[in-house]
Chain A
């Protein structure tokens, strides 16, 4: 009665209709939690989780490894930049300090009426017993034996040896050094002598001389080495022995001899 072909077409249409009806029915009952759903989810989801986690772990390792390499490179680059900046900073600081020192030297230069030659300390005394320094100016620049050497703080010493490009300066704290000096306030005269410490002794100050701690000691100019009025130091200790003609006085020099760098040689 019906051809085979027509039966097939009707069958397909029927399946489509049934499908549509079932879908319509299913659409009314969304998010069902049947036992099958639960079983499937319970069985598959952990595996998915495992796979996903493994993948994520691998991806993270991969990404973080490269990230760390990049971070390390970045870190090295920044470290380099910081080091450069530190060097730069140190250089600026050093320049600033040098400027400060040179400015002080210029001030001293303008204060002192004599012809003055700036010099730098290039060597120290090899022993702790003697106090001399080597400066980078010598006979070539006009330095000669006996010339006074000063710093912004005050008197440093005098030249004891002049060579072609260098000179040896005996510091006032050396035990062989002596300066004719006077107390600025009372004009009491004495001799400032060095000893093995960083201080000096102020000798031949009469017992009755009016001096007190903190008084400034200046050069008298009578020794023929140092011009008059150059600051030597401040009185730091006074003791009057029970007998004798003089007081025992110690003077703390204004110059810090542990940090000598730039000096001025008085050429005249």
Chain B
């Protein structure tokens, strides 16, 4: 149920990013903090399902090579999962750097298929701006998601308890 909510949240983000928000300026891909959050808070099997579906949707809507978004989110999910075993992922500075690196990595993946002269046209300033903005806002988004997660867990537990009483 919780995963469904995060899927809806991701879908809403995609809708916003493909209609009202333009990711040309300072705004970065807001699904990245969500993927990081899912990686930190859900078991591999469950979390990856949502991540893959969101990646697929992004791939379908985007003009990118099919599977590029899917791969990016997939690897972010797995990398964060791996890092969470070695580092204190609750640290704000660590989260900030983590999201910044993810955004930078995503841009790197996007410009990777560029050929020779095309690489010269890669706009460095927006990429750097987005990375800095992601580093500044990413931990905040993660905090919001975590607060939502705690409330959601409590609500689910309450619901389950009530259901148990009703069955008895």
| Residues of A with C-beta under 8 A to B69 | 126
CB atoms of A126 and B118 under 8 A apart: no
Q: B17 at the A/B interface (Cβ < 8 Å)?
A: yes
A240 to chain B, nearest CB (A): 16
Q: B24 at the A/B interface (Cβ < 8 Å)?
A: yes
Q: Please report the C-alpha to C-alpha distance between residue A122 and residue B19 in the assembled complex, in whole angstroms.
A: 7
Q: Please report the C-alpha to C-alpha distance between residue A130 and residue B23 in the assembled complex, in whole angstroms.
A: 11
Q: If the complex has contacts A126-B62, A134-B61, are A196 and B23 also in contact, measured as CB distance less than 8 A?
A: no
Residue picked from A122, A125, A126, A128, most chain B C-beta under 10 Å: A126
Binds A, one of B37-45, B109-117, B136-144, B147-155: B109-117
Chain B 67-82 near chain A by CB (<8 Å), digits 1 or 0? 0010000000000000
Q: Per a CB cutoff under 8 Å, which of A122, A130, A196 touches B64? A: A130
CB atoms of B58 and A129 under 8 A apart: no
CB atoms of A126 and B18 under 8 A apart: yes
B-binding residues in A (CB < 8 A):
122-132, 134, 160, 168, 170, 174-176, 195-197, 201
Q: If the complex has contacts A196-B123, A197-B123, are A127 and B64 also in contact, measured as CB distance less than 8 A?
A: yes
Q: Please report the C-alpha to C-alpha distance between residue A168 and residue B58 in the assembled complex, in whole angstroms.
A: 13
19 contacts between A and B (CB under 8 A): A123-B18, A123-B61, A125-B61, A126-B23, A126-B61, A127-B64, A129-B64, A129-B107, A130-B63, A130-B64, A130-B110, A131-B63, A134-B61, A168-B61, A168-B63, A175-B114, A197-B121, A197-B123, A201-B117
CB atoms of A160 and B63 under 8 A apart: yes
When A and B form their complex, what is the total count of cross-chain residue pairs whose Cβ atoms lie within 8 Å?
60
B71 to chain A, nearest CB (A): 14
Q: Please report the C-alpha to C-alpha distance between residue A123 and residue B22 in the assembled complex, in whole angstroms.
A: 11
CB atoms of B121 and A195 under 8 A apart: yes
Q: Please report the C-alpha to C-alpha distance between residue A195 and residue B118 in the assembled complex, in whole angstroms.
A: 6
Q: B36 at the A/B interface (Cβ < 8 Å)?
A: no
CB atoms of A124 and B19 under 8 A apart: yes
Q: Please report the C-alpha to C-alpha distance between residue A124 and residue B63 in the assembled complex, in whole angstroms.
A: 10
Q: Please report the C-alpha to C-alpha distance between residue A196 and residue B118 in the assembled complex, in whole angstroms.
A: 8
Q: Please report the C-alpha to C-alpha distance between residue A198 and residue B23 in the assembled complex, in whole angstroms.
A: 14
| Residues of A with C-beta under 8 A to B64 | 127, 129-130
Q: B34 at the A/B interface (Cβ < 8 Å)?
A: no
| Residues of B with C-beta under 8 A to A197 | 121, 123
| Residues of A with C-beta under 8 A to B29 | 126-127
Q: Please report the C-alpha to C-alpha distance between residue A195 and residue B117 in the assembled complex, in whole angstroms.
A: 9
CB atoms of A129 and B110 under 8 A apart: yes
| Residues of A with C-beta under 8 A to B110 | 127, 129-130
| Residues of A with C-beta under 8 A to B118 | 175, 195-196
Q: If the complex has contacts A132-B63, A174-B63, are A124 and B114 also in contact, measured as CB distance less than 8 A?
A: no
| Residues of B with C-beta under 8 A to A127 | 23, 29, 62, 64, 110
Q: B122 at the A/B interface (Cβ < 8 Å)?
A: yes
Q: Please report the C-alpha to C-alpha distance between residue A176 and residue B63 in the assembled complex, in whole angstroms.
A: 9
* Nearest-neighbor residue (CB-CB) of A193 within chain B: B118
A52 to chain B, nearest CB (A): 65
CB atoms of A124 and B123 under 8 A apart: no
Q: Please report the C-alpha to C-alpha distance between residue A132 and residue B60 in the assembled complex, in whole angstroms.
A: 11
Q: Please report the C-alpha to C-alpha distance between residue A208 and residue B45 in the assembled complex, in whole angstroms.
A: 62
A127-B62, A134-B18 provided; 18 other pairs, C-beta below 8 A? A123-B19, A123-B61, A124-B19, A124-B22, A125-B18, A125-B63, A126-B61, A128-B23, A128-B24, A129-B107, A130-B64, A130-B110, A168-B61, A170-B63, A174-B63, A176-B63, A196-B123, A197-B123
Q: B134 at the A/B interface (Cβ < 8 Å)?
A: no
| Residues of A with C-beta under 8 A to B52 | none
Residue picked from A123, A132, A196, most chain B C-beta under 10 Å: A196
| Residues of B with C-beta under 8 A to A168 | 61, 63
B residues 1-57 touching A (CB-CB < 8 Å): 14, 17-19, 22-24, 29
